[in-house]
Amino acid sequence: MGNCWFRGSLIVNRVSSNAKPETPKIQSPSERDRSDESKLPSNAKEVEAMRLDSSARNPLVAFSFEELRAVTSNFRQDSLIGGGRFGRVYKGAVAASAAGDGDGAEPQPVAVKVHDGDNSFQGHREWLAEVIFLGHLSHPNLVRLVGYCCEGDHRLLVYEYMPRGSVESHLFSRVMAPLSWATRMKIALGAARGLAFLHEAEKPVIYRDFKTSNILLDEEFNAKLSDFGLAKDGPVGDKSHVSTRIMGTYGYAAPEYVMTGHLTAMSDVYSYGVVLLELLTGRKSLDKSRPPREQTLADWALPLLTHKRKVMSIVDPRLSAAAAAAGAGGELPARAVHKAAMLAYHCLNRNPKARPLMRDIVASLEPLQADDEARDAAGA
């Protein structure tokens, strides 16, 4: 990725919307730097010029606002599929050629993220960061950006449609069937591959907001990372970290980053450990409804992860139900559970230098998936 004018100082503040409340963001009280506000693009032509300057590799469609209004049926309520601080997300359909799926006659489903609720300087920069990063990066475990709209005050993004929604919506749902152990490990491996790709890209990227709500699932539960608004270029040369205002989500952010503002790839590894804990326990990273000592998942679970019996006592009880429904007799693969727990333990090390690299996490998880596939084949 090229060294764009805005990259070194990309800091965004997300504003609240009328969507459901989410875990609060961490942000410093520092004054916003508006020194280069005039350099933000104001139309699609300027966006494309900036994308070319950043060595963009992925073709993107510059949609008009009226086109996106039409494909979402005028942003009708029954097209609404999600939302957050950035605005709302609607399901629509565009021509197959526009979606990059050839010239088929059938329109292709897409997700349209509307940033119109956040016309702030920071909101614009967050939108632009997604266009730049996803216009450059391509990987099976990153959501694909189809196009965007930059017209007047309108800022929209058009992604491939992920029919199963977020990991968060499945993991903490009271109405959806619980995710099986095999599916959870498939998600953990896919997300790890996505982070490993970012960390080892030609120009390394720190994702900075890794959490279950930002991991989306396709029809076959393949995990893809979404929402690159807080992503940062990693340190280059002899630099060990990127100094930045403290942004992230409570419960997921690495403690050393919260304390110092020093951002490294190891910050993502810590967040990955928290997500792995959520997959193991079925608990949220931060849950104020629990007793005080259990509210922050990482703090509560960390001392238990090295004890095999204690680990099995904190595993999501719905996992046994899912195993029984799959015909596995309600038994969980204890060895795999312990291995995943130890992996989470190492990711959550208070010393960031002692945490594993994402490529090593991928190497640790791949045998677990192979074991799951072998068990499924034996039970077929």
- C-alpha 334: how far from chain center: 28
Q: Answer whether 217's CB lies under 8 Å from 279's CB.
A: no
All residues at 6 or more sequence positions from 347 whose CB lies less than 8 Å from its CB, including other chains: 269, 270, 272, 273, 276, 355, 356, 361
Query: Which token pair is 37?
Result: 């506000």
Name the residue among 208, 212, 219, 372 with its Cα closest to residue 282.
Answer: 212
* Residue among 36, 78, 101, 209 flagged as catalytic: 209
Give the pairing of strands 145-151 and 61-62. Answer: parallel
Run of H or E including 181: helix 181-199
Q: What is the DSSP letter of 111?
A: E
Alpha carbons within 13 angstroms on the beta-carbon side of residue 364 total 22
Residue with token string 């340190």: 235
Report, in angstroms and rounded to the nearest whole number, the Rg of the chain calculated over CA atoms.
21
Of 33, 34, 14, the closest CA to residue 24 belongs to: 14
Is the separation of the CB atoms in 153 and 116 below 8 Å?
A: yes
What separation, in Å, do the N-terminal and C-terminal C-alpha atoms of the chain show?
46
203 labeled binding residue: no
- 3 CB-near residues (< 8 Å, 6+ apart): 233
Residue 268 falls in the annotated catalytic set: no
Secondary structure of residue 277 in the 3-state scheme? helix
Separation between Cα atoms, residue 25 and residue 297, nearest integer Å: 17
- To 5 degrees, how large is the angle CA 156–CA 161–CA 164? 130
- Residues recognised as catalytic: 209
Known binding-site residue numbers: 113
Known binding-site residue numbers for ATP: 113
